[in-house]
Each structure stands twice: as C-alpha cells, then as structure tokens.
C-alpha cells in the first residue's frame, strides 16, 4: 500500500451545518489515485468522498460531525422502516454503472431545485453533477429505483472491502411521500447484508443539524469517536 499524504489547511471557514461554528477538514492528497483497499482504510478512519476529494472534518472548536455506519448484518427494521419498504414494493431496483451521466441528471436537477435551493449546490448544472457524483475511483455504482421505466430516485454508493458507502441520494420530488431516500438506504443496507459485507457507511451525522437527524433512525449504528468506532447511542 502506498503512503497516503494528507493536508490540513491553516484557515477555517463558516460551517454549512452549524452556522455558529467554523469548519476545517483534513484532505487526502488530490493527486493520488486511490484503490478500493485504500478507500476502505480511509473510510475505516472516518474519511468521506465527494467526487475525487477525500476528507475528514478537523474543526478547531467543534466535534459535532461524526462518521456513522449501519451494522448491516444486524439491521433492525422499525415499524416505520417496514411501512416504507411496503409502500415501495411496486418499484424495481437496479445496480447501475455511472456511465451515462445524462440519464440521471434531470432527476438530480429537479431534486436540487426543489429540495435544496438554499444550499451550496444550487443552482445545479451538469458539470457540477459530473464532478460530484461521476468523478470516482472506479468502485462507484448507482442503486436506482424505477416505477416502470420512470426513474424515481438513485443512491450513489461506493463498494468497499468491508461494506458499501452511501455517497449521495437524489429523487423525484413529486414522489416524496414514498420516503425514497430512506427506502434506498434501507435497500442498500439489505444489499450489503446479502453480500455478507458488515457495514453501510452513511457519512457524517451532525449533532444539532436537523437535516442529518435521519441517520440516527437506523440501528444498530456505529459512530467514529476519538479515532475508534463505538455504538452510537440515541
């Protein structure tokens, strides 16, 4: 395994999750071409991928961001989870290669325009989508849900040595009543279980940020705290 160089900027910036805080991240050398084993090792140490940028929060005065993962082999389905799975029984799931970016972009564009017009990804454009979700290290797939021929939503994920890693989910806003994001995360966790992989990595859960609170609805859940994985207590 090659040496993995990381960089920590001197300057912090306003936090996009907690407005009263300052954020700073530790970055992997962007010139490195990482393989699946190295990406797996980084995920096991709390890192996250966005496009070809791999990072981990190292904030000066806050530790609210915690990398979390579902224990796929022990997944506990709540009553709400079972309702969501039942509601979406008419959908067809497909695992797809991220080859034809234009196929999923219209859904992504509608999702950002209607659900995240206050975020830093608005307004959406294809080059941004391509850099965010299609620039990968060769181990990325799309878990897509279809109603007949119509795309309802996609969960972009990475294949790791010890699990699957949920990168980003987008869906048709008109189908929000289906809870498509929860459905796709549950489906990916069930897929990891079927592949005998231990985990579904969910990225960062941010205490105090309501947008991230959905991640705590999965059980059992681990959190990366003080450089080790521990059970996440609700």
Domain-by-domain residue ranges, the chain? 6-65
**pLDDT at position 234, please?**
64
Task: Specify the pLDDT at position 118.
Answer: 78
Average pLDDT per consecutive 10 residues, the chain (234 residues; last block may be shorter): 85 90 94 94 96 93 94 97 98 91 91 87 92 93 97 97 98 98 98 98 92 93 95 80
Q: What is the pLDDT of residue 1?
A: 55
Structure-token pair, residue 195:
């592949």
Distance CA 59, CA 15 (A): 9
The pLDDT of residue 117: 81
CB-based contacts of 191: which residues, under 8 Å, 6+ apart?
Answer: 95, 143, 164
Helix axes 180-194 and 79-87, enclosed angle (nearest 10): 100
Q: Considering the entire predicted model, what is its pTM?
A: 0.94
Sorted by sequence, the CB contacts under 8 Å of residue 1 that are 6+ apart come out as 37, 38, 41
DSSP one-letter code for 98: S
């Amino acid at each position: 395994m090659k040496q993995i160089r990381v960089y920590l900027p001197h300057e912090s910036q306003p936090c996009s999750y907690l407005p009263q805080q300052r954020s700073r991240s530790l970055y992997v050398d962007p010139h490195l071409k990482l393989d699946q084993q190295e990406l797996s090792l980084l995920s096991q140490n709390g890192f996250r991928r966005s496009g070809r940028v791999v990072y981990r929060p190292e904030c000066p005065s806050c530790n609210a961001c915690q990398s979390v993962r579902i224990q796929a082999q022990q997944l506990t389905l709540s009553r709400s989870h079972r309702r969501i799975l039942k509601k979406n029984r008419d959908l067809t799931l497909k695992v797809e290669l991220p080859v034809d970016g234009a196929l999923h972009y219209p859904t992504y564009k509608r999702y950002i325009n209607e659900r995240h017009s206050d975020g830093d990804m608005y307004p959406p454009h294809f080059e941004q989508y391509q850099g965010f979700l299609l620039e990968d290290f060769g181990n990325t797939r799309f878990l897509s849900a279809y109603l007949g021929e119509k795309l309802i939503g996609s969960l972009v994920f990475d294949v790791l040595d010890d699990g699957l890693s949920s990168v980003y989910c987008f869906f048709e806003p008109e189908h929000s009543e289906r809870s498509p994001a929860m459905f796709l995360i549950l489906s990916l966790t069930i897929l990891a279980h079927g592949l005998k992989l231990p985990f579904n990595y969910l990225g960062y859960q941010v205490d105090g940020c309501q947008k991230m609170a959905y991640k705590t609805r999965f059980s059992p859940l681990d959190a990366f705290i003080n450089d080790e994985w521990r059970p996440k207590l609700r």
